[in-house]
Amino acid sequence: MTSKDASSSFRTPRPSFLNMVAAQTRAELLLALRRGESVLITMIVPSALLLFFGSVAVLPLGPGRTVDFLLPGILALAVMSTAMVSLGIATAFERHYRVLKRLGGSPLPREGLLLAKITTVLLVEAVQVVLLLGIAATVFGWQPAGSPGLALVALLLGTAAFGGIGLAMAGALRAEATLAAANGLYLAFLLLGGIILPLSALPTILATPASLLPAAALADVLRASLSPAGPVPLGSLVVLAVWAGGMPLLATWLFRWE
């Protein structure tokens, strides 16, 4: 055996693309669990809002159970928390500290890194949905109804829309600016997105533009999909689809890895 053959026989095989993505996904999940602010915004805040506003009669909802209005809005908030706030801020600081640049020099290609981040977001959202539905069912007696397929489509569209917003900010702004912008949008969407308060409770000058926000569109479609016989709000579905298609394209155009 020649020296060249001997050295090649001891060469470590390069891991496959899927193995690299799986390893990066595990790393992303561990980092997300270690960031206390991420756990707070993705798990604790949505659950606390559901428990609090579902238990007190302060919302101007009229007839009907509070949980039937509140739960879809809180699900929309959970998607926004994970796909926009958590992903956007974490990615912005990874870019600031040149973590993305170092990963770019690793065997993991950029599309693998993006796939790992997307997978992490979807896994966290799955936990959020199970947690919130469990709270609604055990505490408030909520029962599933409507169209689960439409609800799943709405959640995926919402993830694309808010993920695009988060990555657009993370790729174009400084880390501190992304932190401020993400939290500011979170508060604006919470107040104006039909999540806690119905759009009908807002002044007309605010309600009309608010109906075009991705938060309001996602909450509206989720309410229809979780209602026993609710009609599909085609207008809100179109608005959500436009955001879901446009924001990832904008993020692709604006994003800078360094």
Q: How far apart are CA 216 and CA 221, in angstroms?
A: 9
- The pLDDT score that the predictor gives to residue 11 is 53
Closest-CA residue to 26 (of 98, 116, 150): 116
Angle made by CA atoms 248, 243, 216, in degrees to the nearest 5 = 135
CB–CB of 9/103 below 8 Å?
no
Amino acid in position 116: A
- The pLDDT score that the predictor gives to residue 16 is 85
CB–CB of 163/248 below 8 Å?
yes
- The pLDDT score that the predictor gives to residue 107 is 79
Q: Tens of pLDDT along 195-237? A: 988 888 888 899 999 999 999 999 999 999 998 766 889 999 9
- The pLDDT score that the predictor gives to residue 10 is 45
The low-confidence residues of the chain, meaning pLDDT below 50, are 3-4, 6-10
- The pLDDT score that the predictor gives to residue 73 is 94
- The pLDDT score that the predictor gives to residue 7 is 47
CB–CB of 79/159 below 8 Å?
yes
- The pLDDT score that the predictor gives to residue 78 is 96
- The pLDDT score that the predictor gives to residue 134 is 96
- The pLDDT score that the predictor gives to residue 185 is 95
